[in-house]
Amino acid sequence: MAADSLRWTVDTMPPFQEIEGRLVIKDFRDEETKKVRPFKGTVKSFDAKRKWYRVVYEDGDSEDVWWKDLLPLLQRAAAASPTAAPAAVCAGTGGKQGSRGSSAAAPSPASRSQQLAAPAAVPDMQQHKEQTAKQQHKAKAAGKQAAAASKKPTAAKEPVGRPPRPRTEEEELAAAKKAKDKQAGKKALHASSQPKKRSKGKDSEGQGGERKAAGKKRKPAAAAKEGAGGTGEGAPKRRRKPAGPKIELPVPKLGQEYVYEPGQEPWRSVPGFSWEVKDEPDLSAAAVNRLRNVQRTYNKYYIQAEVDEKVRVEAVLADQKARGKFGKEPRPANRPDRAAESRMVNVEKLAIRGQRVAGHYPGWDIGSRAYSRSELCCMGFHRVPIAGIDFVGAGKAGNGAPPFATSVMVSGWYQDDSDNGAELWYTGEGGNDLLHGRNQVADQSLQRGNAALQGNIMLGIPVRVTRKQKDPHGHYGCCYLYDGLYDVVAMRHVKGKEQTWVYQFLLRRRKGQGPLLSERVEWGGIAAARAIVPKTRQGVVDLDISRGKEERPVAAIDDTWLAGGADHEPQGDIPPCTGLDDIADERQLVGKVVRGINAERIAELREQGYTPAVQYITQYEFVGRAAAKAGQLAQAVLPLELKTHPQPYLAKLNHAVTQRASKYRLEIFKTRNGRGWGVRSLDTIPQFGFVVAYVGEVYDAEEHEHLVRTVEEQDAEYTFDMAPRPDTNWDGTEKVVPDQAKAEFVACGLRKRNVGAFLNHSCAPNCFVQPVLDTHHDRRCPKICIFASENIAPMTELTLDYGEAYAAGFQGGCKCGAADCISLRGPQAAAGHQRQAQEDSAGEGDGEDGEEEEEAEEVVVEEEEEVEEVVEEEEEEVEEVMEKKNKEGGV
Ligand SMILES: C[S@@+](CC[C@H](N)C(=O)[O-])C[C@H]1O[C@@H](n2cnc3c(N)ncnc32)[C@H](O)[C@@H]1O
C-alpha cells in the first residue's frame, strides 16, 4: 500500500482497508507497576455504522476507538517507529494538526509545504509530553461519554456527532448482570423494608469482583477520577459522620392510608433525625428579601439573555447583508430562562445545590408564582430544573433515614395523574416518553423520587406542591403556582393507562392554608387559572370612574356594608376628581412647560385665563393599549438616562411598556379600616408588571404650595413629589422614599387624577415607583410609573411606600397593617419621623412659624411681581423696537 494514500484529515474518515493492522500507541495505567505507560496495539476491525474501530493491545485487551480519536494514536505510532508503520498525515487543517501530527511519510506534492513545516519525526520529549497530555484529556472525555452513554442510552443523551461506543462482550455481560441484579432488587423491594440497599450492595460487589477477576487494567479516565477524590490510592478519604442510632421505620403498605395527628408525625420521635420541617410559612423580611434579590438578579440575566440574543441575530443579519449573502435567517435561541440560570451559577456563584428545605420554603408564600422552573431552581425552592420530584437522599437526615421528597411539580406530564385540587394521585417518576407524546412507555421502579415519596409516608413529612398554570404573563404562557403543603398519605403500585406499572402517591392538602388558587392540572394541558374574582360584583357604586378615558373601566366598589359595616349600604362618596374630560385640550402644553417655565410663558398662560400657579401637564394621552410581557419589565423600564444606556434595545423596550395602558383590570374599593379608597386588581400582576402611571396636574412645586394652602385649603394628600431619583433605582430594590433633592415639580391629584393616585401607603408595599422619560428629556418632570415589586394575587390591595416621614404624619397614624409598620414601632419612632417630616416641610418654607409662612408668601408674591415686571419690560422693549422699525420703514 502506498504511503501517500494514508493522508487523512481530521474531517475525513480513514478507509478501513488502509489502516487495518496498523500500529497505534496509547497511554494506560499498568495495573502491575501502577504507572501510566504507552501500550501498543493494532487496528483489527471496524463498525461502519457507528464509525468505531476495534483496537487490540499488546496485553490482549481491546477497546473501541472513535475514528477521530484514532488518528492521533496512529500518528503517535508512526512518529515513534517510522519504519514499522506508515504515518497518518493530518493535512489541510492548518498548523495545529501539522504540529500535532509529526510525520515521516513521503509527502505528496500537494502537501509538501505542510510536510516541510511540520516538526521532524525525531521523538521529542516535550512534544511527546504534550501529546500524551492531550491524549489523556481526550481519553478522559471519551471515557465520560462512554460512561454517560452506557448509563442512559437514550438518543437525546448521546454526544452530537459522535456515535455511542459499541459495548464489548464483557461489558454486555456486565450490563446484563446489572440489569438482573436490579430486577432482583426491585422484587425484593416489595418484600423487604430496605431492598434498595441490598440490591445496590450486591450490584457493586459483583462489578468489583468481575473487574478483579478479569485483571483489567484501569483506563486513564478512571484512574484520574480516583486520584481526584475517588477511592483510589492517595485520594483523600471521605469523612463519614459518626453513625447515630439507626432509624427503624415500618414500610407503608400499598393501598393503606397513613394519616398522622399534627405533632405526632414519626420524624419527630425518630432518634438522630436531623432535619427541620417548616410547618408555618416564614415570611420575615429577611427571608422574603433574599428570594426577591435572587429573582431580581435572575430577571436581570433573563432580560440580558434576550437582549444579547437579539443583538447577536442582528449582527448576523448585518454581516449577511454586508457580504451580500443571504443564507438561512438566524433565529434567536428560545431559552433565556436556561441562559439566566447558567449565569446565576457562573456569575453569581449561586449554590443551587445547597441545603434542601422540608416544609414551607422561607420567603415563598402560598399563591406565589414563578414564571419558569429555572427561577424556582435558582431560588432553591425546587432545585431540579426538569425532574418533578426534588428530594433529600437516603441517610442524609440521620443514620438509616429513608429519602424523602421536599417539593413536587404537577405539570400535566403524566397521563396517570388524577388531580382533584385538594387531593391528587401523583404518579411517580420514570418510564415517561418526555421527548415525544409524554406517554407512559415503561414500568417505573421504586427508586429516587419514588422511593423518596414513600419516605414521606414513613416519616410523616409533607411536600410542597406547585402546579403549572396557564398564564399569559409568562415567557412560555405559563407560571408555577405554589399551592402549599400536602401530606403524602398513601401509595399504590398499579398498571396505568398504557398497561405499564406505575407508582402513585395520594397527596392531600393540609387544612388551614387558605383557598386553593390554582386550577387542577390535566395530562398534556394546563388548565386556565381559576377566576377568583366573583362573577357578580357587589357594592358597585360607579362603573367607571375614568369616564371612558382608561382603556379598561375602573369601577368603584364599596362593599364594606357586606361585612356588617356601620351603614349597611354603599357610602357612594366617590372622589369628585375623576373628570379628566378637559385634559385633552391641554395637550399643547405638554413639553413647553417642562422645558422651563419662564416669565413669557407665565404671561401667556395668564392671558389664556389660567392662574399662573396652575400649569397643566398630563401624561394621560400616552397611557393606552396593552402592556408588554411580564418578567421583562425590571430593566425594560429605563431610568432617566435613556440615551446613555449601553443597551440600545432597552431604550426600545421602555416605550413598549410604559407608553401603554395598564393591562390589568383595576378598581378602587373602600377600605375597611379608615384609609379611604384603595386600589386592587382583578388579575394577577406579575412581579415588575406595569401597574399604572400616576396622573395628575403638574405644578411648579413652590406655586403648588401656595395653591394648596391659600386656594384649596385642603390636605395635600394627592401630591406626588417629582424630585429626581437615583438612576440606579430601576429594579425596585430601593424603597420609594422621597429624595433629598428638592422637587421642582409636583403631580397634583387634587382636582384631576387617575386610578394611580388612589394607591395607599404601606410599610411593606407590593408596588414601587419608577420615573421614566419618554416624550422629553427633562429629568425634573418624569412620568411616574408604578410597577409591581412582587407577584400580586388578584384582589390584593396595591400599595406604595410614601416614605416613613410622610406616613408618620397620617391622621390617626399609619393603618397599613404591615408587621413592621411604623405605627407599631413605638411612639418614639413615629414622633421622630413626624418631627423629621415637620423639619423637612419647614425647610421647604411650609413651617408652622407664622413669620416664615408670611415670608414665604411674600417671596412668592415678590417673584410674581418680578416676573410681571420682566414681562412688562420685555413688552416695552419690543414696542420700542417695533416703533423704531416703523419709523425707519417710514423714512
Ligand atoms: C393618595 S391618597 C390615597 C387614596 C385615599 N385613600 C383616598 O381615599 O382617596 C393618600 C391618603 O390616603 C390616606 N392613607 C393612605 N395610606 C394610609 C395608611 N397606610 N394609613 C392611613 N391612611 C392612609 C391618607 O389620608 C393619605 O393622605
Quick one: pLDDT at residue 478? 82
Q: Are 356 and 383 in contact (CB under 8 A)?
A: yes
The protein residue with its alpha carbon nearest to ligand 1, atom 19, reads 816
306/399: higher pLDDT: 399
pLDDT above 50: residue 300: yes
Highest mean pLDDT among 269-278, 298-307, 681-690: 269-278
Interval between CA 676 and ligand 1 midpoint (Å): 6
The overall average pLDDT reported for the chain is 65
Strand partners, 64: 54
Residue 713 has pLDDT above 50, yes or no: no
Query: What pLDDT, on a 0 to 100 scale, did the predictor assign at position 490?
Result: 95
Ligand 1 pocket: which of 758, 760, 804, 815 to mutate (most atoms <8 Å of CB)?
760
Q: What is the rounded distance in angstroms from the CA atom of residue 677 to the CA atom of residue 578?
A: 13
Q: What is the pLDDT of residue 459?
A: 93
Mean pLDDT along residues 616-642: 28
The secondary structure of residue 164, as a DSSP letter, is P
Residue 779, classed as helix, strand or coil, is: coil
Whole-number pLDDT of residue 130:
52
Domain boundaries, the chain: 16-80, 275-287+350-509, 580-826
Q: Which positions ≥6 away from 527 have C-beta within 8 Å?
A: 469, 470, 519, 520, 521
The pLDDT score that the predictor gives to residue 703 is: 66
In the reported structure, the alpha carbon of residue 809 is separated from the centroid of ligand 1 by a whole-number distance in angstroms of: 11
CA dihedral (752, 756, 758, 763) positive or negative: negative
pLDDT tens-digit readout, 811-830: 888 999 887 888 887 665 55
Distance, CA 367 to ligand 1 centroid (Å)?
27
Q: 75 and 24 in contact (C-beta within 8 Å)?
A: no
Report whether pLDDT(511) > 50.
yes
- pTM greater than 0.90: no
| Placement of cell 404650595 in the chain | 705
Q: Residue 196 to residues 246, 266, 392, 838: CA-CA distances in angstroms?
A: 17, 21, 16, 71
CA atoms of 673 and 560, how far apart (whole Å): 10
Strand pairing class (463-470; 404-410): parallel
For ligand 1, atom 23: residue with the closest CA: 675
Which of 786, 816, 820, 822 is CA-nearest to residue 804? 822
SS3 597: coil
Mean pLDDT over 189-214 rounds to: 35
Q: Which residue from 796, 733, 758, 587 is spatially nearest to 678, judged by alpha carbons? A: 758
User: Does domain 275-287+350-509 sit in CATH 2.30.280.10?
Assistant: yes
Show Cβ contacts of residue 33 under 8 Å, excluding neighbours closer than 6 positions.
Answer: none
Written as one letter, the residue type at 864 is E
Determine the residue of 751, 810, 821, 824 to mutate for testing ligand 1's pocket, defined as the one with the most ligand atoms within 8 A of the Cβ atom.
Answer: 810
Please say whether the beta carbons of 459 and 392 come within 8 A.
Answer: no
Grid cell 449561586 — which residue?
350
Q: Which atom of ligand 1 is nearest to the CA of 816?
A: 19
Q: Is the pLDDT of residue 578 over 80?
A: no
- Rounded CA separation 49/709 (Å): 90
Edge-first strand listing for the sheet containing 62-66: 23-30, 35-47, 52-57, 62-66
**Integer Cα distance of 181 and 185 in angstroms:** 6
How far apart are the C-alpha atoms of 21 and 18, rounded to whole Å?
9
Q: Which amino acid, 252?
A: P
| Predicted pLDDT at 120 | 31
Q: Do residues 633 and 688 make contact, with C-beta atoms less than 8 angstroms apart?
A: yes
What pLDDT, on a 0 to 100 scale, did the predictor assign at position 841?
Answer: 44
| Ligand 1 site, CB within 6 A | 575, 675-677, 717-718, 757-758, 760-761, 810, 814-816
Q: How far apart are CA 220 and CA 210, in angstroms?
A: 19
Q: What pLDDT is recorded for position 558?
A: 80
On the question of pLDDT at 357 being above 70, the answer is: yes
C-alpha cell at 821: 409598620
CA of 668 to the centre of ligand 1 (A): 12
- What is d(CA 600, CA 874) in angstroms, rounded to the nearest whole number? 9
Dist. CA 85–CA 43, nearest whole Å:
12
Give φ, ψ of 344 to 5 degrees. Answer: -60, -40
| Residue whose CB lies within 8 A of the most ligand 1 atoms, among 666, 673, 675, 750, for a mutation test | 675
Pocket test for ligand 1, best of 717, 718, 762, 797 (most atoms within 8 A of CB): 717
The reply to whether 580-826 shares the fold of 16-80 is: no
Nearest CA to ligand 1 atom 4: 758
Percent of the chain exceeding pLDDT 70 equals: 51
**Among residues 719, 706, 698, which one has the least CA distance to residue 781?**
698
pLDDT at position 513, please? 87
| Predicted pLDDT of residue 884 | 61
For residue 332, what are the contacts with CB-CB under 8 A and spacing of at least 6? 306, 309, 310, 312, 313
Q: Of 113-127, 229-243, 601-615, 694-708, which has the strongest mean pLDDT?
A: 694-708
pLDDT digits (tens, 9 = 90+) for 471-481: 766 667 788 99
User: Between 86 and 348, where is the model more confident?
Assistant: 348
Evaluate whether 651 touches 665 at the Cβ level (below 8 Å).
no
CA of 509 from ligand 1 middle (Å) equals 38
What is the structure's pLDDT at 452?
Answer: 96
Q: What share of the chain is helix, strand, coil (3-state, %, to 5)?
A: 35, 20, 45
Contact 435, 492 (CB under 8 A): no
Instruction: Locate the DSSP E strands across 22-155.
Output: 23-30, 35-47, 52-57, 62-66, 89-90
User: CATH assignment of 16-80?
Assistant: 2.30.30
Is the pLDDT at 338 greater than 70, yes or no?
yes
Question: Does 3.20.20.100 match the CATH number of domain 580-826?
Answer: no
| Ligand 1 centroid to residue 319 C-alpha, Å | 57
Residue 378, amino acid: C
- The beta-strand segments (E) located in 706-789 are 719-721, 745-753, 760-761, 767-772, 783-788
**838 CA to centre of ligand 1 in angstroms:** 18
**Regarding predicted confidence, which is higher, 811 or 523?**
811
| Residue 117: exposure state from Cβ atoms within 10 A (0-12, 13-18, ≥19) | exposed
The answer to whether 357 and 290 are in contact (CB under 8 A) is no
Give the pLDDT score at 191. 37
Lowest mean pLDDT across 351-360, 510-519, 583-592, 798-807: 583-592
In order of 76, 241, 474, 527, 816, the CA distances from 477 in angstroms are 56, 46, 5, 12, 34
Quote the pLDDT of residue 150. 40
Residue 43's DSSP bridge partners are 55
Of all atoms in ligand 1, which is nearest to the CA of residue 815? 20
Nine cell digits for residue 67:
475514528
Give 761 Cα–ligand 1 centroid separation in angstroms. Answer: 6
Looking at residues 348-357, what average pLDDT do you find?
Answer: 68
**What is the whole-number distance in angstroms between the Cα of residue 763 and the centre of ligand 1?**
13
- pLDDT value at residue 294: 83
| Calpha distance 193→248 (Å, rounded) | 9
Does position 500 have pLDDT exceeding 80, yes or no? yes
Distance 720 CA to ligand 1 centre (A): 13
Backbone angles phi, psi at 291, to 5 degrees: -65, -40
Q: Is a pLDDT exceeding 90 seen at residue 370?
A: no
How many angstroms separate the CA atoms of 27 and 136, rounded?
7
Name the pairing type of β-strands 797-800 and 760-761: parallel
Contact present, 803 and 739 (Cβ < 8 Å): no
Q: Over 70: is that where the pLDDT of 867 sits?
A: no
Q: Are 701 and 742 in contact (CB under 8 A)?
A: yes
563 vs 490, residue with greater confidence: 490
Integer CA distances (angstroms), 635 to 342, 630, 648, 652, 723, in order: 19, 11, 12, 11, 21
User: Given ligand 1 and candidates 571, 761, 784, which is best to mutate, with the most ligand atoms within 8 Å of its CB?
Assistant: 761
Task: Write down the pLDDT at residue 509.
Answer: 94
Range among 331-335, 397-401, 570-574 rated most confident:
397-401
| Per-residue pLDDT reduced to its tens digit, 406-424 | 999 998 888 888 888 889 9
- Compute the distance from residue 103 Cα to the ligand 1 centre, in Å: 86
Ligand 1 nearest-atom number relative to CA 749: 1
Question: How many angstroms separate the Cα of 432 from the Cα of each of 155, 384, 408, 436, 443?
Answer: 15, 17, 16, 9, 9
- The pLDDT assigned to 200 comes to 34
Q: What is the CA(823)–ligand 1 centre distance, in A?
A: 15
Which comes out higher in pLDDT, residue 600 or 56?
56
pLDDT of residue 872: 55
Q: Is the dihedral of CA 418, 421, 423, 427 positive or negative?
A: positive
pLDDT tens column, 73-84: 888 888 876 554
Exposed, middle or buried, 169 (CB in 10 Å: 0-12/13-18/19+)?
Answer: exposed
